[in-house]
Amino acid sequence: MGVTVHRLSRRAILLGGAGLVGSAGLAATLTGCSTTDATHGSTHPIGPVPSASPSAGQGLVQKSLVARETTLDLGGPTVATWAYGDTVPGALIRAKAGDFLRISLENKLPADTSIHWHGLRLRNAADGVPGLTQDAVKQGDRFVYEFTAPDPGTYFFHPHVGVQLDRALYAPLVIEDPNEPGGHDDEWVVVLDDWVDGTGRTPDDVLKKLVDDGGGSHDMGGMGGGHDMGGHDMGGGGTAMAPWGDAGDVTYPHFLVNGRVPAAPERFTAKPGQKVRLRIINAASDTIFTVALGGHRMTLTHTDGHPVVPREVGAFHIGMGERYDAVVTLADGVFPLVAAPFGKTSGGQAMAVVRTGAGSPPAADVRPAELSGEVFIGSQLLPAESAKLPDRVPDATLQLSLDGSMKPYVWGMNGAPFGKNDPLTVQQGQRLRIDVTNQTMMTHPLHLHGHTFALPSGLRKDTVLLAPMQRLAIDLDADNVGRWAVHCHNIYHAEAGMMTELRYTES
């Protein structure tokens, strides 16, 4: 394969991947409609975002975040990283549905950054995607995000620049439902992560190595071609029967629950018989987890904020960017909550501990029996009646293919990486169907900003796992004008091009 020197593309500017697209082979792998950068809109700065203000009677939640370099103790390993303040995850933000959030971000990082409010149906100007909705927040600058959070649910936030999500730059966001009956005694927010930063490599190093290793000599067929299946043991993670194919691209030394390694886990203390609502968030960059609470069955109640027909499971898969709420009635004793990384054979697992009584703490490598039983796939949940989109025939159908390969390390949508592919276009008021096909041998969590979509079953989500070669139609109501990112929530794939734009047009 020829070596092509490629000038820094708009994608690299948008996603902050300094120089990575200069790697060999990228241009040679593009197939089909390679459009000009002009289709991507102006390259001029976007300018200041108009501020918004709360209306009379609207609740106001104000917070200040400082993104900065820091050193964190993960419960043994001490790592230099980038964080919101000095914890990982960053401090939980809690509000009520309908509240107005005013959150200022001060950027003390040695890089540009932004914040994206993952899963929220917010106004476009607050969505936090440099190049689409705002200019990146420069080093030393501040930016104030102002928006109404319309829908209750479990969310999180993270930068939308480069691979910064794979640092400590993430935190949970819970929007409470003022009309919910409640019915549980306590709540536990459980944030899962795969960790590499400060262990001798940064996420930028990891991406550079993926691109370098994919460059040149081992062409596996280019975009639309297969993925190298040889590199990982698919029997790992206790989930050999899962349909996810390959295990991900990155080898992580640690997996975390709420910022802790399993040798020094977080402890959740409660009384036997109490009903606890778990809000489980997968903030990992490259890892699908299988979650189980030893000695218990969990009743899944919501996904990505939307209520579902309650479903009791022993264990379930959670993809990057997905959220599941579960209710569990606690037994008496000490129990491990384990998140086993799918298919990854090094780095152990993520674990936290629930304690309601006497007992010795579980070992870091404990494997609850539930992991060996049936593992539920979240997209098979059924929607609660209240979460269904009204029946309607789509006004328009668009095709979306997920493409790419490891060698070269190039990912794309509709035949080309972001910046080279055409935006998906929609008109306000349309019911849009997006017919998605995963053309690769790897699983991708597809995420849409600013909207939620319905699967054929009616299940409402904003992030959904597509197994290798899976095809899935998603429907959405185009009710939020703007320019919205659509991308794989494997952050290395997104940064390597697996992203496009959903753009509202006049007619």
Binding site for ligand C2O (CB under 6 A): 116, 118, 158, 160, 321, 447, 449, 485, 487, 489
Looking at the Cβ atoms of 234 and 396, the one nearer to Cu ion is 234
Smallest gap from residue 321 Cβ to ligand C2O (A): 5
Total residues contacting Cu ion (rule CB under 5 A)?
Answer: 4
When the beta carbons of 148 and 164 are compared against Cu ion, the nearer one is: 164
Taking the C-alpha atoms of residue 274 and residue 65, their distance in angstroms, rounded to an integer, is 34
Query: Do 325 and 302 touch, CB atoms closer than 8 A?
Result: yes
Q: Shortest Cβ distance from residue 487 to ligand C2O (Å)?
A: 5
On the CB side of 354, how many CA atoms lie within 13 Å of its CA?
Answer: 30
- Interface segment toward Cu ion; rule CB under 5 A; list 83-91, 118-126, 418-426, 484-492: 484-492
Phi-psi category of residue 397: left, alpha or beta, with phi > 0 → left and psi -120 to 50 → alpha: beta
Residue 321 contact among ligand C2O, Cu ion, none, beta carbon within 5 to 8 Å by kind? ligand C2O
- Residue identified by tokens 């493409």 is 403
Q: Toward Cu ion, which CB reaches closer, 123 or 493?
A: 493
Reported as type and span, the H/E element at residue 477 is strand 471-477
The neighbour count for residue 186, using CB atoms within 10 Å, is: 14
Q: Which of ligand C2O, Cu ion, none does 488 bind, CB closer than 5 to 8 A by kind?
A: Cu ion
β-strands 275-282, 186-195 pairing: parallel
- Decide which of ligand C2O, Cu ion, none touches 88; Cβ closer than 5 to 8 Å per partner kind: none
Nearest to 193 by CA among 248, 257, 249: 257
Instruction: Please name the amino acid found at residue 178.
Output: P
Rule CB under 5 A: say whether 488 interacts with Cu ion: yes
Tokens of 306: 């939307």
507 by Cβ neighbours in 10 Å (0-12 / 13-18 / 19+) ranks as exposed
> Taking CB under 5 A as the rule, does residue 493 contact Cu ion?
yes
What, of ligand C2O, Cu ion, none, does residue 503 touch, CB below 5 to 8 Å by kind? none
Q: Closer CB to ligand C2O, residue 160 or residue 503?
A: 160
Tell me whether residue 268 or residue 504 sits nearer to ligand C2O (CB atom): 504
DSSP label of 20: G
- Two structure tokens written together for 195: 């960790």
Choices 170-178, 263-271, 454-462, 487-495; region in contact with Cu ion by CB under 5 A: 487-495
Nearer to ligand C2O, 15 or 313 (CB): 15
Least distance (Å) between residue 270 CB and ligand C2O: 30
Are 190 and 350 in contact, with CB atoms under 8 Å apart? no
Least spacing, CB of residue 42 vs Cu ion, in Å: 28
- Cβ nearer to Cu ion, comparing 164 with 440: 440
DSSP 245: B
**Cα–Cα distance, 253 to 348 (Å, whole number):** 8
- 3-state SS assignment for residue 466: strand
Residues 419-448 that bind Cu ion (CB under 5 A): 444
**Least separation in angstroms between CB 116 and ligand C2O:** 5
Task: Summarize as ranges the residues that interact with Cu ion (CB under 5 A).
Answer: 444, 488, 490, 493
